[in-house]
Chain A
């Protein structure tokens, strides 16, 4: 199964530039030859005020407030590099809820 990089494409995240971030993630993943990854849109993680939100699954890494400059570090992580700790700011209970949802294969 492919690993998934979910990028929220709902109103708030879009207003904060998530469309461009998604394109950048796709481009960088392709440049790095990350063929085992698929970059996909998601409809809402419920952390709109902290967007744009990006979740790596099944890694269960949630990156919030992602800017274009952060995309390089995120794709490094996707390629086996370290977590991007500075973007890991989401409340644990919300993470747990969303990860359980993703575990059901809903995306």
Chain B
């Protein structure tokens, strides 16, 4: 199908300037500079219903309004390409393959919120993405879309690159700002939120790569056109990541509301060995497991939530019938224990304790009362961290115990249901 971000909804060869212009590239910026005030542009984004694609799904128009509505200057825009979620590759592939679309989105965001400087914060391990973005930025500068008095208007914008440490927590928005200020990637206590007091305590719009990639098409074709894709509360498309569990791994841009089954079976070609699906994590390691009989769930925020999980940043994890959920839950718990930055005691205790409990159970040294401890530890620590990492291990672990109690009982009895 036709995509909004990728011309055919899938990754093809890198789109250069000419190809981008042939599909309307930089016309949204021309339109904005000539016909739209920053306020009008922001209204259009708000009306489109665009939601952040970094995992939280917060409405972009509202986020930008917090920044635009302050009297403080200077203001900043940060393209958050710190992507380090296991299995996620959408931001990397957007920057590598449609870099102009991303750059145009950054410029439009800066115009909307009144920012004079934008940072391209990109995972330092993403060499090809950084190179593609450097080339696209050079093109945009030549065309006069970046620099002083863009289009002869009272709008100037400097864009610079900033390497993101390849660590999970370095993608958290306030940790991003810490890095740009030359510090370690440690999340800040909120409020204040970056939107009003971010980089150097100035208003800062921090947006995920995919979020900003949606901006130019919305401005060019309008909010009503955009709402023709997806659902009322999740308009547009989402770029989903499929990994080695399927026959055709890759990223697939699909309208919100597409059934999970379509993504896995038609796009991904089904599981690699044709094995039956036992469980799915529809939104990466911080989402709750869905069971294999929930594949007809529609992939949009509300439907996935109603099914008991969350869509996150669209990384689909698949567990097949020959795999053990205890092993998967342990892997997730150890991931969060490792990625917790350690500055909040509650997060440190929670992530370590969950991993320790699961390790004992996985090793056959568990006891039935241990299964009752997960919910207690999670509830005790809920919301007690500076960032949301503390809330992340809960959904997958609690759903694992609820949906697949048999796998846990097998481990308590000293066996493993996996092959």
Contacts and interface: CB of A to CB of B under 8 A. Distances in A.
Interface of A: 10-12, 43-49, 93-94, 97, 100-101, 103-106
A10 B349 CA distance: 9
A24 B381 CA distance: 32
Contacts, number: 52
A103 to B, nearest CB: 7
B367 A93 contact: no
B43 interface: no
Contacts of A10: 348, 352
Interface of B: 342, 345-346, 348-350, 352-353, 356-357, 360, 367, 369-370, 373, 376-377, 380-381
Nearest to A93: B380
Nearest to A49: B345
Nearest to B379: A97
Contact of B357 (A93, A97, A103, A106): A106
B367 A44 contact: no
Contacts of A49: 345
Given A100-B373, A104-B370, A46 B360 contact: no
12 contacts: A10-B352, A12-B345, A43-B353, A44-B352, A46-B345, A49-B345, A100-B376, A101-B377, A104-B369, A104-B370, A104-B373, A106-B373
Contact of A97 (B342, B360, B380): B380
A105 B367 contact: yes
A43 B356 contact: yes
Best-buried of A45, A47, A100, A106 by chain B (most CB within 10 Å): A106
Contacts of B352: 10, 43-44
A104 B353 CA distance: 12
Nearest to A105: B367
A103 B360 CA distance: 14
Given A44-B349, A45-B349, A48-B345, A104 B367 contact: yes
Contacts of B367: 104-105
A101 B380 CA distance: 13
A6 to B, nearest CB: 12
Nearest to A12: B345
Contacts of B377: 97, 101
Given A104-B373, A106-B370, A11 B349 contact: no
B349 to A, nearest CB: 3
B350 A46 contact: yes
Nearest to B347: A46
Given A10-B352, A48-B345, A106-B370, 13 more contacts: A43-B353, A44-B352, A45-B349, A46-B349, A97-B377, A100-B369, A100-B376, A101-B353, A101-B357, A104-B357, A104-B373, A105-B370, A106-B373
Best-buried of A46, A48, A93 by chain B (most CB within 10 Å): A46
Best-buried of B349, B370, B376 by chain A (most CB within 10 Å): B349
B377 to A, nearest CB: 7
B337 to A, nearest CB: 9
Best-buried of B345, B353, B360, B381 by chain A (most CB within 10 Å): B345
A43 B360 CA distance: 14
A51 to B, nearest CB: 9
A101 B346 CA distance: 15
Contacts of A103: 369
Contacts of B350: 46
Given A10-B352, A43-B356, A46-B350, A101 B373 contact: yes
A90 to B, nearest CB: 12
B345 A47 contact: yes
